[in-house]
């Protein structure tokens, strides 16, 4: 789970995906280009974000 903090209203927004458009649920501000954090703390997520194409390829490897 990921968290972004809105720079306009300072409220937290949560999502299970780091891809796609991300709008603040409180004020509607576009948070897509903002840094995301671990949902339980204020640390930046340090892992490299994989492009969606690579993620789909990885998921297909583990399909039964």
pTM: 0.57
Handedness of CA 52, 24, 1, 45 (dihedral sign): positive
For residue 29, what pLDDT is reported?
93
CA 56 centroid distance within chain: 17
Phi, psi of 12 (to 5 degrees): -85, 145
Q: Residue with structure tokens 């968290």?
A: 3
What digits encode the pLDDT tens for the residues 18-60? 778 989 998 999 988 888 777 776 555 555 555 667 667 766 7
Residue 23 is predicted with a pLDDT of: 92
């Amino acid at each position: 789970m990921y968290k972004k903090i809105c720079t306009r209203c300072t409220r937290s927004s949560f999502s299970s995906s780091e891809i796609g458009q991300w709008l603040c649920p409180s004020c509607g501000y576009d948070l897509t280009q903002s840094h995301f954090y671990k949902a339980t703390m204020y640390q930046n997520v340090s892992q490299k974000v994989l492009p969606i194409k690579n993620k789909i390829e990885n998921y297909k490897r583990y399909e039964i």
